[in-house]
Chains A and B, each alone.
Chain A
């Protein structure tokens, strides 16, 4: 079973920030939070990951709460090409055996 809980779907207006929440209340101290997305039937694409500090890269920002029980992926200026299923996963640093839940289907609307 997936160790994370995400809303099944969300809409976002093009050009606005998309904030995707994830609950991972049973996360262990050595587990990272990873975010991937899957566009249509393409291979999942890595977005970002973090342990406890907030992270930012060219694609997104990851905000992890202080108790690490939840996190939010932020796409700062969503475009139509960001329409995809977004997966939040917790996994260890070595040999991660990811458990993918159903994810959040983000629809970016014009």
Chain B
């Protein structure tokens, strides 16, 4: 158990809909990262937040957005869903303050299926 929690575990929805994925980082971690893993793409970095502020952006679509709240949990919002958005979505957290042990610890993921 990495200490990172994600909800829901599974999500099934229809094209055109909007969903919200939630991530709670490990206790004390300030940074949250979001990744998408689809069958043909591997793990793709989407976005990083550090202490409530966006820190880095990867291959995140304009239909997707994220935020990190004062209690440090993060939400990834996916809108106008398409079939190709079906994937596993992982979040990871780090202490974010640097240091030799500042590695990313991943949550169990949310499996999104768009029908």
Contacts and interface: CB of A to CB of B under 8 A. Distances in A.
Contacts of B90: 43-44
Given A93-B98, A95-B55, A43 B106 contact: yes
Given A42-B109, A43-B107, A95 B96 contact: yes
Interface stretch (B12-20, B43-51, B70-78): B43-51
Contacts, number: 62
Interface of B: 2, 4, 31, 33, 35, 37, 42-45, 48, 50, 55-56, 58, 88, 90, 92, 94, 96, 98-100, 102-109, 111
Interface in A23-52: 34, 36, 41-46, 49
A42 B107 CA distance: 8
B31 A46 contact: no
A101 B42 contact: yes
A41 B56 contact: no
Interface range for A:
20 to 34
A29 to B, nearest CB: 16
A103 B37 CA distance: 13
A52 B107 CA distance: 28
A55 to B, nearest CB: 10
Given A44-B90, A46-B104, A93-B98, A98 B45 contact: yes
Contacts of B43: 44, 87, 98, 100
B98 A45 contact: no
A43 B2 contact: yes
A99 interface: yes
Q: Which of B35, B58, B106 is most buried by chain A, counting CB atoms within 10 A of its CB?
A: B106
22 contacts: A34-B103, A41-B109, A42-B108, A42-B109, A43-B92, A43-B108, A44-B106, A49-B103, A87-B43, A93-B99, A93-B100, A94-B102, A95-B31, A95-B50, A95-B55, A95-B96, A97-B33, A98-B43, A100-B42, A100-B44, A101-B42, A102-B42
